[in-house]
Each structure stands twice: as C-alpha cells, then as structure tokens.
C-alpha cells in the first residue's frame, strides 16, 4: 500500500516539474538598454484547465503564437452570429498599444468581426489557440467568446 502512495506522489511531482520546465521554455528572454523597450512581454501563465492544457494571458507575445481558435471560442462566435463554426476564418491579430492584450479579426459569412480575446490556450501538441476565459487578479473569470462587433 505504501509503495502505491509513494509511486503516486512521485508521478505527481514529475508532472509538476515537467509543467514548470516547459513553462520556462515558453518565456521570452529579457534584454537591457534601448532594446528592452521594444522587447515583447514574456508569456504570463494563468492556469491549467480541467483537461490539463495551459492558459496564458493574451499579451502580444502569446497572441503572436496563435494559429487558430479553440472550440469554445469558435462556438461562442458562431452562436452570436448564427453561423456554423467551421465558416469562421481568423484574419489577423491586433495587439493593444500597451501590448497587454490583443483583439482578433475574424471573417464570418456575415462579414468581418473584431472580437475580444479572453486568453491563449496551449494544447498538448504545442499549438496556441485563441480562447474564451479572461482571468482577473482576484481569481474570478469571465467568458468572452462571442464579444465581437
């Protein structure tokens, strides 16, 4: 019985160390001098979702890595405009002036839309996707998929 417990603790510790080391690989190195003002911010890790995927703050660094839409994000937009999710096409990503957030430009059958982005999720395959949930300093979250105009 004790061996199973020790083995479980070892597996959990190994998983935690793996997650921490892969987060370090995602970080953008800082520079000094005048180049520091132009260096994009590092990825800011927020949480791990119930499926184990990592969720990041949608700053300019994370937004540059986005290659598609998460299922939840696409469903939120498709529900708002009553169009099939497969018809959505990501056109561009616009970082905010302070580089702390970004906006997604999505082409829909009803025309182009500018959509708020809640977070960036990194899948197990290493793909970064636009995602729905925005996290606040107090730990509360807000569902943003479909907030487009």
Report the C-alpha gap between 7 and 15 in whole angstroms.
12
**pLDDT at residue 81, rounded to an integer:** 92
Residue 83 token pair: 């169009």
Res. 104: pLDDT tops 80 = yes
Q: Domain span at residue 67? A: 43-143
Is residue 114 in some structural domain? yes
Between CA 126 and CA 54 the distance in angstroms is 10
Look at residue 73 and tell me whether its pLDDT is greater than 60: yes
Q: How confident is the model at residue 23 (pLDDT cuts 50, 70, 90)?
A: low
Tokens of 53: 């995927």
Q: What is the mean pLDDT of residues 66-83?
A: 93
Task: Report which secondary-structure segment, H or E, holds 89.
Answer: strand 89-95
Which helix (H) or strand (E) segment is 67 a member of?
A: strand 66-69
Report pLDDT digits (tens) over 85-99: 999 999 999 988 888
Q: Examine the domain organization and report whether 124 and 69 are in the same domain.
A: yes
Please check whether residues 52 and 115 belong to one and the same domain. yes
Query: Does residue 148 lie in a domain region?
Result: no
Let me know whether 30 and 57 are in one domain.
Answer: no
Q: Are 133 and 147 in contact (CB under 8 A)?
A: no
- Half-sphere CA count of 31, side-chain side, radius 13 A: 8
Residues 82 and 121 grouped into a single domain? yes
Inside any domain, residue 149: no
Residues 33 and 52 in one domain: no
Is the whole model's pTM more than 0.75, yes or no?
no
Q: Are residues 35 and 47 located together in one domain of the fold? A: no
**Same structural domain, 50 and 63:** yes
Q: Percentage of residues in the chain with pLDDT exceeding 90?
A: 42
User: Which pLDDT score is estimated for 37?
Assistant: 56
CA distance 72 to 85: 10
54 and 121 share one domain? yes
From CA 42, how far away is CA 45, in angstroms rounded?
A: 9
Residues 68 and 13 in one domain: no
Mean pLDDT of 111-119: 92
Residue 51: inside a domain:
yes
Q: For the purposes of burial, counting CB atoms within 10 Å of the CB of 23, is it exposed (0-12), middle (13-18) or buried (19 or more)? A: middle
How many domains does the chain fold into?
2
Claim to verify: residue 85 and residue 57 sit in the same structural domain: yes
pLDDT digits (tens, 9 = 90+) for 2-15: 444 334 333 333 34
HSE toward the beta carbon, residue 57, CA cutoff 13 A: 17
Task: Indicate if 111 and 60 belong to the same structural domain.
Answer: yes
């Amino acid at each position: 019985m004790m061996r199973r417990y020790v083995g479980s603790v070892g597996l959990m510790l190994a998983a935690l160390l793996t997650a921490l080391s892969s987060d370090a690989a995602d970080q953008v190195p800082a520079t000094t001098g005048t180049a520091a003002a132009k260096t994009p911010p590092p990825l800011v890790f927020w949480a791990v979702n119930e499926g184990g995927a990592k969720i990041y703050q949608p700053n300019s660094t994370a937004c540059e890595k986005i290659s598609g839409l998460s299922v939840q994000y696409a469903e939120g937009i498709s529900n708002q405009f009553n169009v099939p999710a497969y018809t959505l096409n990501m056109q561009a990503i616009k970082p905010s002036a302070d580089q702390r957030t970004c906006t997604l430009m999505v082409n829909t059958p009803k025309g182009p839309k500018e959509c708020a982005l809640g977070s960036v999720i990194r899948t197990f395959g290493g793909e970064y996707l636009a995602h729905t949930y925005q996290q606040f300093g107090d730990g509360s979250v807000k569902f943003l998929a479909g907030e487009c105009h």
